[in-house]
Amino acid sequence: MATLVEAKLAELGIVLPQPAMPIATYVPYVTTGDLVAVSGQLPMLDGKVSVTGKLGATVPIEQGQQAAQRCFINLLAQVKAACDGDLDRVRRVVRLGGFIACAPEFTRHAEVMNGASDLAVAVFGEAGRHARSTIGVPSLPLDAAVEVEGWFEIV
Amino acid sequence: MATLVEAKLAELGIVLPQPAMPIATYVPYVTTGDLVAVSGQLPMLDGKVSVTGKLGATVPIEQGQQAAQRCFINLLAQVKAACDGDLDRVRRVVRLGGFIACAPEFTRHAEVMNGASDLAVAVFGEAGRHARSTIGVPSLPLDAAVEVEGWFEIV
Amino acid sequence: MATLVEAKLAELGIVLPQPAMPIATYVPYVTTGDLVAVSGQLPMLDGKVSVTGKLGATVPIEQGQQAAQRCFINLLAQVKAACDGDLDRVRRVVRLGGFIACAPEFTRHAEVMNGASDLAVAVFGEAGRHARSTIGVPSLPLDAAVEVEGWFEIV
């Protein structure tokens, strides 16, 4: 039987990927008490970074938002693993950190990051409302346009 | 009756603003256990970003410090809301993250961020001594010169 | 009698420095519950930043990895102080944040940060496997090439 959050994901037409394994000695998430710290996620899709380049240069706002959304989907896949497959155990999206690769004169970071934030609320409702910090960066691993990390509270 | 921290704020001549509402699906803070994660705050003053531009370019150190101080005042306004108006419930400023918009050759980030750190200790005394990370960024939302985020422990 | 972690450090030929005192109103770490938030550490060695400059410009990958490793050693020195000298009290390296000073076209941040991550696992074994976020930055305090911050769970 699908969980409530899974039903919402289906309604939104979102298919969670297999959670990506980092190719290094770090891990995708660590649970400490009832908090889960999830590693920064890139907009991976089918094994590749789906949006590369920089906002304010080669990447338009809409594409940046899609990248942020994809990062959040990948966060969800990790959190699902942290919850042994039951996303209804997520009590709160505590904090998202958004890193936007951009030209130095770019100023619309918040709009880009809304791609992740709006999806969090669409999926979890009030429990999806999170604290967040969004900053520009000169570049990200693998030339990704966006990276999003998260802290979640689970039961 | 004013609380102890409020009395200290008055002594320092600091008037807390109404906590700014983010214009998005995220929220200014989330409480998890006895920790409060506060969203990255810009140096908003009277509804506008008070210091824009970059350190090492158009923004002198002193103005950057004032921006960092303003960010911390805005963090305080959020923490006060998280504490239902009673700042004496703050047991510790746990961690501040400082993001300094700057030219690539800028190296005095720590001095700029002291504008926030010094105020934390002026307001809270020993409980205001915090861990911190300070980094340069190419740009911030709305062209802000500084952004500061925080984790606070409350009772 | 040396602790298990200290024995491992000796085996790796790593000598922990005296934990560096920040020259400001912030502190190197704050303990909240069973979490320790450690301030962003630069690759300080004998009182100086050991690697300055930017990846993708003047700093080769290997040197960046050494800088990340040095940052982690400095994190360890702080965590040891947080544990009153007993590193066996570290239950988990929860999360590392890696900041890589780099040229805008640099894309190999993850490899650089592995200098810290690999050491975490070499020292702590499975307890050293951590969540992590790695981003590029235009510049860091004192022109450091790398900065690493951390959250640790202790008993």
Task: Write the DSSP symbol of residue C55.
Answer: B
ipTM above 0.85, yes or no: yes
* Distance to chain A for B50, nearest Cα, Å: 15
Report the percent of chain A where pLDDT is more than 90: 85
On the question of pLDDT at A1 being above 70, the answer is: no
The continuous run of DSSP H or E covering A63 comes out as helix A61-82
Helix, strand, coil shares of chain B as percentages rounded to 5? 35, 30, 35
What was the pLDDT predicted at B1?
Answer: 44
Q: Is C102 on the interface with A (CB under 8 A)?
A: yes
Mean predicted confidence (pLDDT) in C124-130: 95
Residue B3, pLDDT > 80, answer no
Over 50: is that where the pLDDT of A91 sits?
Answer: yes
Q: Does pTM surpass 0.90? A: yes
Mean pLDDT for chain B overall: 94
Please classify residue C28 by burial: count the beta carbons closer than 10 Å to its beta carbon, then call 0-12 exposed, 13-18 middle and 19+ buried. Answer: buried
Q: Which residue has the tokens 């497959």?
A: A85
Q: Is the pLDDT of residue C23 over 80?
A: no
Q: In this model, does residue B91 exceed pLDDT 50?
A: yes
| Half-sphere exposure for A96 (CA within 13 Å, toward CB) | 34
CB contact under 8 Å between C140 and B138, yes or no, is no
CA-based torsion, C102, C107, C108, C110: positive or negative: positive
**A102, A107, A114 ranked by CB distance to B24: nearest:** A114
Instruction: Determine contact, residues B89/B79, Cβ cutoff 8 Å.
Output: no
Q: Do the Cβ atoms of A95 and A130 come closer than 8 Å?
A: yes
* Closest CA–CA distance from residue C3 to any residue of chain B (Å): 26
Name the residue with tokens 């969203």: B39
What's the CA gap between B86 and B94, in Å, rounded? Answer: 18
Q: Does residue A64 belong to the interface with chain B, where contact is any CB pair within 8 Å?
A: no
Pairwise CA distance, residues A15 & B39, whole Å: 29
Determine contact: B104 vs chain C, CB below 8 A: yes
List the structure tokens of A30: 């660590």
- On the question of pLDDT at A3 being above 80, the answer is no
Please state which architecture CATH assigns to domain B4-9+29-154: 2-Layer Sandwich (3.30)
Domain coordinates in residue numbering, chain A: 4-17+27-154
Provide mean pLDDT across the span B74-79.
95
Residues of C in contact with B134 (CB under 8 A): 40, 141
The 10s digit of each residue's pLDDT in B4-33 is 898 888 999 989 988 877 767 899 999 999
C39 within 8 A of B131, measured Cβ to Cβ = yes
pLDDT, position B23? 64
Chain B residues whose beta carbon lies within 8 Å of the beta carbon of residue C147:
133, 135
Cα–Cα dist B39/A96, whole Å: 9
What subunits touch chain C, counting only 3 or more CB pairs under 8 A?
A: A, B
Cβ neighbours of residue B150 closer than 8 Å, sequence gap 6 or more: B37, B38, B72, B75, B79, B93, B94, B95, B96, B97, B130
What is the least distance, in Å, from the CA of B13 to any CA of chain C? 20
B24 neighbourhood in chain A, CB within 8 Å: 110, 113-114, 117-118
Is the pLDDT assigned to residue C1 strictly greater than 50?
no
CA–CA gap between residue B29 and residue B20 (Å, rounded): 11
Residue A102 touches chain B, beta carbons under 8 Å:
yes
pLDDT band, very low/low/confident/very high, at A2 (cuts 50, 70, 90): low
For residue range B110-152, list pLDDT tens digits in order: 999 999 999 999 999 999 999 999 999 999 999 999 999 999 9
Q: Report the first-to-last Cα separation within chain A, whole angstroms.
A: 20
Cα of C103 to nearest chain B Cα, Å:
9
Question: Nearest-CA neighbor of A63 among A119, A115, A108?
Answer: A115
Q: How far is A147 from chain B (nearest CA, A)?
A: 15
Listed in sequence order, the residues at least 6 apart from A155 whose beta carbon sits closer than 8 Å to its beta carbon are A34, A89, A91
The whole-angstrom separation of Cα C2 and Cα C39 is 26
Contact list in A for residue C102 (CB cut-off 8 A) is 138-139
B70 CB within 8 Å of a chain A CB: no
Distance CA B84, CA B77 (A): 11
In tens, the pLDDT along C107-123 reads: 999 999 999 999 999 99
Q: What is the CATH number of domain A4-17+27-154?
A: 3.30.1330.40
CATH code, residues C4-14+30-154: 3.30.1330.40
Using N-to-C axis directions, what is the helix angle for A4-11 and A109-124, rounded to 10°?
130
Task: Determine whether the interchain pair C129/A40 forms a contact, defined as Cβ–Cβ distance below 8 Å.
Answer: no
Q: Taking the mean position of all CA atoms in its chain, how far away is CA B30?
A: 16
H/E/C letters for each residue in B58-91?
A: CECHHHHHHHHHHHHHHHHHHHHHHCCCCHHHEE
